[in-house]
Amino acid sequence: MKLIDTPGKNCREFYKKTKLIGRTQNACLYGITFHEGDGNYVIDVDGNKYLDFLSGAASNTIGYGRRDVVEVYAKTAMRLQHSCYPYTFNKEAIELAEKLIDITPGDFEKKVLFDLSGSSGIDGAIKVARKFTGKKGIIAFKNSYHGATGLAMQATNLVNLTEGLFLDNGFFHVNFPTEEEEISDILAQINALLQKGVAAVLAEPIQGDGGVLSPPKNFFKELYYSLKEHDALFIVDEIQTGVGRTGKWWGIENFDVVPDILVCGKGISGGYAPISALIGEEKMVDSLEKVQHSFTYGGHPPSCAAAKKVLEVVEEEKLMENASRIGELLSGELKELKAYNVVKDFRGIGLMLGLEIVTENLAGIAGMRCIEYGLYPGYYGKYNEILRIQPPLTLTKKEALWATKIIKKVIEEIENKEIPKNTIEKYKKYSCGIGEKIEF
Ligand SMILES: Cc1ncc(COP(=O)(O)O)c(C=O)c1O
């Protein structure tokens, strides 16, 4: 297998200049700077090519260089690049709203609010829940990541991300169940909190940054019944799970329950435009007063047109089916790795997969070794212990099989302590990630 000397000279030069951008926006994985994309591959500023197994943090749904999407964006921008939707409407925002309502579960009247990032979409959902119920409390889960804006950051509970920010109270965090036996205790805690005036429970259907953790099948359904008894809402954060990644439009569809509010971002525009949205029951969404959650760039015409095109591509090219099929293929191959001592678990649904590596931080080393072989995965989890596998939904069988060979080789090298010293040095120098980095 060919090895790449990465990060190369140009990447190293750019790496030095990253000091121009604040430390908080640096959770560097490998010290690489990208220059272009090509289908399911990304190419760095040294010309090194990698098969993309991270998709810009689960955003790149349909691959790089999609002329059809870029043309829709460009044509719309040439005609009307902006209207400031709250003042004067544009048809692209309305058409995207129609599409989102159409593909979101729930046999009730729905409305959409547009945002610029997943985080601000979560802020919107929390505002809606508080205004609609007249209650303040928000229950979220330990190990969750919901974003970095005001309310989303308070809902987040991952490592020490909220440290020193003097955030407001009103947020409660309970354990996220992964085993059937945990459900009754967790529901008991939630039921106790519901007595205190809770507006909503906010959950990722499958925790992403926390480490690709799925709850038992019936958890959300049971939770939903409790919420309805206490007039509290169920908000799902589909920012990472959404748009086909689990083989269905939305991750929550794997759990047979209809949320009151669904928040999506990342993959809805395939990385071609920064846009997010919340979709919720009409009477809830419309509890917010004029301009309590509205943005100059929310409902931006070219971004909405591009997102609608991406959703059409997902449907027309049967990419949800592909995510299931290729996901099963990857899972079939990679779960064999559990036989190795250094692999603790392999889990996930569709193309939202994670390989848990036993010793903290080895996922970072595994990732660093993968990129030397030309494969670009991520890593996350509390200790960066999960190799993050989230390729574009357009991944082919051939690409998937090639990637499994690389991952198997890397795990074998870790097991046999054959990772070259130089790779470990690079890991120590460049790798950071969101989780706590444990020095060794
Ligand atoms: C589950 C989840 N929610 C919310 C967010 C925040 O989205 P954004 O970074 O677009 O604000 C993320 C981003 O990683 C996420 O994974």
244-258, 330-344, 348-362: least confident range: 348-362
**Distance in Å, CA 274 to ligand 1 centroid:** 12
pLDDT 10s digits, 5-35? 999 999 999 999 999 999 999 999 999 999 9
Q: Given phi > 0 = left and psi -120 to 50 = alpha, else beta, which region is 18? A: alpha
> What residue owns the CA closest to ligand 1's atom 4?
146
Q: Where in the chain is the domain with CATH 3.40.640.10?
A: 67-316
pLDDT band at 361 (very low <50, low <70, confident <90, very high): low
Q: Are 229 and 203 in contact (CB under 8 A)?
A: no
Q: φ and ψ at 224, to 5 degrees?
A: -60, -40
Residue 135 CB–ligand 1 contact under 6 Å: no
**Distance in Å, CA 265 to ligand 1 centroid:** 8
**Distance in Å, CA 229 to ligand 1 centroid:** 30
pLDDT 10s digits, 172-199? 999 999 999 999 999 999 999 999 999 9
Nearest Cα residue to 92 out of 282, 259, 304, 250: 304
Please give the Cα distance from 326 to 396 (Å, whole number): 7
Q: How many CB atoms lie within 10 A of CB 320?
A: 20
Residue 117 CB–ligand 1 contact under 6 Å: yes
**Distance in Å, CA 275 to ligand 1 centroid:** 12
Q: φ and ψ at 106, to 5 degrees?
A: 120, 115
Residue 48 CB–ligand 1 contact under 6 Å: no
> What residue owns the CA closest to ligand 1's atom 3?
146
For position 179, what pLDDT does the model report?
Answer: 96
**Distance in Å, CA 148 to ligand 1 centroid:** 8
Please give the Cα distance from 146 to 309 (Å, whole number): 26
Residue 239 CB–ligand 1 contact under 6 Å: yes
pLDDT 10s digits, 134-144? 999 999 999 99
Q: Where in the chain is the domain with CATH 3.90.1150.10?
A: 9-62+318-430
pLDDT band at 82 (very low <50, low <70, confident <90, very high): very high
- Is there a cis peptide before residue 86, judged by omega within 30 degrees of 0? no
For position 323, what pLDDT does the model report?
Answer: 98
For position 440, what pLDDT does the model report?
Answer: 60
Q: Considering only the top CATH level, what class is 9-62+318-430?
A: alpha beta
CATH code for the structural domain at 67-316:
3.40.640.10
- Helix orientation angle between 301-316 and 67-79, rounded to the nearest 10 degrees: 150
pLDDT 10s digits, 260-271? 999 999 999 999
Q: Are strands 198-203 and 137-141 parallel, antiparallel or unpaired?
A: parallel
pLDDT band at 362 (very low <50, low <70, confident <90, very high): confident
pLDDT band at 1 (very low <50, low <70, confident <90, very high): confident
Residue 237 CB–ligand 1 contact under 6 Å: yes
Q: Are strands 49-52 and 41-44 parallel, antiparallel or unpaired?
A: antiparallel
Residue 204 CB–ligand 1 contact under 6 Å: yes
Residue 145 CB–ligand 1 contact under 6 Å: yes
Q: Are 43 and 36 in contact (CB under 8 A)?
A: yes
Ligand 1 nearest atom to the CA of residue 152, by list position: 4
Ligand 1 nearest atom to the CA of residue 266, by list position: 10
Q: Average pLDDT for residues 80-109, to the nearest whole number?
A: 97
Residue % of the chain over a pLDDT of 70 = 99
**Distance in Å, CA 264 to ligand 1 centroid:** 9
